[in-house]
Structure 1
Amino acid sequence: MGDLQVESSNLLSVVYRTGIPDIDDPAENYLEASKLYSSTVHHDLPGIVALDQSPELRTMSARAARRYASRLAVDLPEPAALDGTLDAALRARRSADGFGAGPLRLDLLSSLLRRTYGVTDRDGLPRRATPSGGALFPLDVFVVPRRVDGLRGNGLYHFDPFRSVLADLGDVDDEALHDCLVSPELSRQSAAVLLVTASFWRSRFKYGQRALRFALIESGHLAQNILLVATGHGLAARPLGGFLDNDLTALLPDHNGVDDAPLYALLVGPSPD
């Protein structure tokens, strides 16, 4: 059977409905609004000058993470040792179609968090393995453990990258969480759900409209790091970009879906093999 030839222009009516973009197409409007030009770059990126002129602002921006210091916290142990090579992890990485029934060890969860979004260098500005525009790190990682040793099932925890702890934020409605996700039956099999959210203002004060681009790019960096670490530990993992935004936002503290919003979900657990 020969290769199937498809004329891509036939998709115009599917993508744009009318066959051409509307004059107020949101995607095109945002792309235009977030472009940089030499004639307006100083106006579009006002925070760059402010950061250059203010040591206090630089210090404050370096503490880029939500803090729940008043909450009870679970110390994360030293990350489990990684086996194999980066080449092996890249070759073996696959999006899981199922998960084993056993629990996830806490040192494995610690590895997924600390190796990917934990502070790896405190000499000068705190650095992390995941790159971030201006080292502003607008993302946060929340964990809903279902079968994780040492953690309460269906609790909601926040990863503090500076203290290497999980702040206990109380319980989450397990059924509501899975119903938010595009693959609820698969998520119910997982040992833990990791939710990546963004506080856009952490980047926007410096990068203006460009900040949303950076937050989306960085969530991909972080997700890929988590997936590779999971693969290195022989765990099953699957990224989910599809979810009901308002419903998932409602499960997260201090998120309004505009200034702070979920971007990505990752399912992790033992391999079904």
Structure 2
Amino acid sequence: MFDDFWAASRYSPLHQRRLGDRLRDFRPPPELIDPLELPSAPVPLPRPHDRLQKLFQARRSTREFSGGPLTDKQLGAVLGALTDNSYPSAGGLHPLRCYAFVHGRAVRYDIRRHALQDIGPAPANLAEVLGTPEAPPLTIVLVLTDKDSFEKYGERAGRFGLIEAGAAAQNICLRLAEQKLGGYLLGGVADHEMLHALGLPRELRVATAIACGHKIT
């Protein structure tokens, strides 16, 4: 059943163009009141003002980047957001894998070793695969290898995998904010084309991708 959902929501370059048309034509209705609002008066809570809250406030979706590449130190800091069991994984199965396009190369990020392995040149049509106007300085791709998860949890494993990918993506986005870098989640990546660019089998799942780079000041 989850495979059916995944296939139905899979994207190709044709779907990307259709999504662009849909987004252009969409006009959200004005919302005057939250339909889930309760009649009782809300009770305010104290607001936190610690370093973590300031980091939350610093996180913004940035869609335009300067041309400068990330340094190895910055790259290590951003990808290091996935190390040290920093996000939950159902049953400790850790189906999440991380890949990236950086410095014109496709690479695999070994989360456990905190190291990169070269795959080969990034595809010439990377921007088209990502569904972006141009290829960002760094693109992080989160992939799920969830066969064992489905054997253990059945269809519920689909939700668990997406929870894990979302938690990992938030870690990366907060690290980008801490490094004063910009980034945003890519919701329209072409699935099969991305797997092909990374040399991966088509039965794996591209959970999400994150465009990253220096913010334009």
TM-score over 0.5 for the pair:
yes
Q: Deviations over 1:155-174 (max 9, x none)?
A: 11111122211011122213
Match of 2:96 among 111, 122, 139: 139
Q: Which residue of 2 aligns with 1:251?
A: 197
8 Å Cα contact 1:241-1:263 kept in structure 2? no
Aligned-residue CA RMSD in angstroms? 1.8
Residue 199 in structure 1 maps to residue 148 in structure 2: no
Q: Deviations over 1:182-224 (max 9, x none)?
A: 3x21x42x21111111101131221121111111111111111
Residue 109 in structure 1 maps to residue 64 in structure 2: no
Deviation at 1:86, TM superposition (A): 1.5
Residue 233 in structure 1 maps to residue 179 in structure 2: yes
What secondary structure is seen at the aligned counterpart in 2 of 1:238?
A: strand
Aligned equivalents of 2:209, 2:145: Cα separation in 1: 16
In structure 1, list runs of 5 or more residues that go unmatched.
1-25, 28-83, 121-127, 146-152
Provide the TM-score with structure 2 as the length reference. Answer: 0.73
Aligned equivalents of 1:218, 1:165: Cα separation in 2: 21
Match of 1:212 among 140, 146, 158: 158
Match of 2:207 among 239, 259, 263: 263
Aligned equivalents of 1:97, 1:248: Cα separation in 2: 20
Distance 1:96 1:227, change over 3 A: same
8 Å Cα contact 1:181-1:244 kept in structure 2? yes
Q: Which residue of 1 aligns with 2:38?
A: none
Q: Which residue of 1 aligns with 2:109?
A: 159
What secondary structure is seen at the aligned counterpart in 2 of 1:237?
A: strand
Q: Which residue of 2 aligns with 1:169?
A: 119
In structure 2, list runs of 5 or more residues that go unmatched.
6-49
Q: Deviations over 1:106-164 (max 9, x none)?
A: 111111112x222x2xxxxxxx101111111111110100xxxxxxx221111112221
Aligned equivalents of 1:108, 1:98: Cα separation in 2: 18
Aligned equivalents of 2:199, 2:104: Cα separation in 1: 15
**Runs of 4+ more than 6 Å apart:** none
**Pairs aligned (count):** 171
8 Å Cα contact 2:98-2:111 kept in structure 1? no
Identity within the alignment, %: 29
Give the residue type in structure 2 aligned to 1:263.
A
Give the residue type in structure 1 aligned to 2:76.
S
8 Å Cα contact 1:158-1:168 kept in structure 2? yes
Q: Deviations over 1:64-91 (max 9, x none)?
A: xxxxxxxxxxxxxxxxxxxx92211101
Give the residue type in structure 2 aligned to 1:165.
A
Q: Which residue of 1 aligns with 2:40?
A: none
Larger radius of gyration: 1
8 Å Cα contact 2:105-2:120 kept in structure 1? yes
Q: Which residue of 1 aligns with 2:54?
A: 88
Aligned equivalents of 1:253, 1:103: Cα separation in 2: 24
8 Å Cα contact 1:137-1:202 kept in structure 2? no
